[in-house]
Each structure stands twice: as structure tokens, then as C-alpha cells.
Chains A and B, each alone.
Chain A
């Protein structure tokens, strides 16, 4: 199984501040057939299903504000919220879809300082 490790577990950011979440996979997620990294990022708010933010490691889903960006390749990935808003308070998860079981990171809780 591919182990996904996020850091930090939680972070408190001032409104308008920058939040950076890291995700490390136990093996490369680069798909040769797709020439892309099989990694996605979700935002989950209490009582709601996960919301897709990013797929193929760096492509923002439609409707996702451009303050959310992601980068990385291979085994190391980053999600950045450039200017944190109150509505960004949530838990963020990375997930690999390179091979089953499609494992998640443990989640990073983002709060307002």
C-alpha cells in the first residue's frame, strides 16, 4: 500500500495569511501512461462530503478560487492557500490514485489564528 503522510496535522493562519500543506507519498505517483502525478487534494468542512480542489497534482477544479494552488511531482506535493479566508477553515486531505488501495493522508486542519 502507498502510505501518504501530510504535514502539519494542523495549522492556524491569520486572515489573509498563507497556508502551506505538505503531502509525501511512499512511492512515486507519476503515471507514465498519463504523464501526470496521480494525486488529488480535497477540502472537507464539518458535516459535508469532501470537495475536490486539485487533481493531477496541480490542476485546479472548476470553480475553485485561484488562491488555492498545488505543486509537486513524484513523492512530494504541496497545497498552498495564498490568502486564507474565513470560509477556508476545513480539513484538507491528499489522496493518491496511482494504485489501489487509493490511500489518503491523515488530514490537515486549517484554522484561523
Chain B
């Protein structure tokens, strides 16, 4: 069974940085588009960023553009979300997910990011 397991979340001060990781087992990431989503406490789902074609194509939500960077390490079969200049409003559970043939999934269980002083 394909599994995604996010890691790298934690508590960070405003202006700080974190790098989230999403390794994939039993799945070659180079064949898919990979996405990051987030969900603030008690709020809805929000798409954050995606990366396709082995890293050749990336997109970002306006709210994170210029601060977050998505990347992929095909050798490690892992993709990342580098988050800089973190703000309180970035506090959320972050999920990674694959996309292929119209389907988003599997999704990871999520990793919590808290931005607070």
C-alpha cells in the first residue's frame, strides 16, 4: 500500500523557518504531481503548492508565494516544503498528497506547524 508520512513540523517563532518532508513508499514521485495542503485549527482545507514533471513545474498559493519553496529529491523519492518567513497565519496542519489521473491521494496523516512567540 502506498504511504506518505509527513515530518518536520513543530513550534517556530514568527519569521522562522521549517522544512517539511514527505517521503513516498511504493510510489515513484517522478510519475506524479505532488501537492501540499494545509488546514488551520477548526478551518477548512487550503491548497498550498504543487510540483510536477520531476520538479520542472511548480505553483504556489498567493499567501505563501515568495516565502515557501516546494522541491523534490527523486533519488530519495521525497518531496519537501521549505517554509521561510513564517507568520502566525501559517499555523496549521500540513498534508502532502499525490495527484494522478484525476485523483488526489493517498494523503499523509499530516504534520502540525505552530508559529508563535
Contacts and interface: CB of A to CB of B under 8 A. Distances in A.
A49 B104 contact: no
Contacts of A106: 44
Interface residues of B, number: 19
Contacts of A55: 102-104
A103 interface: yes
Interface of B: 35, 44-47, 50, 59, 61-62, 95, 99, 102-105, 107-110
Contacts of A59: 102
Nearest to A96: B47
B45, B104, B107 — which one has the most chain A CB atoms within 10 A of its CB?
B45
A50 B47 CA distance: 13
Contact of A95 (B45, B61, B109): B45
Interface residues of A, number: 26
Interface string A84-104: 000000000101010011111
Interface in A33-92: 34, 36, 38, 40, 42, 44, 48-52, 55-56, 59, 61
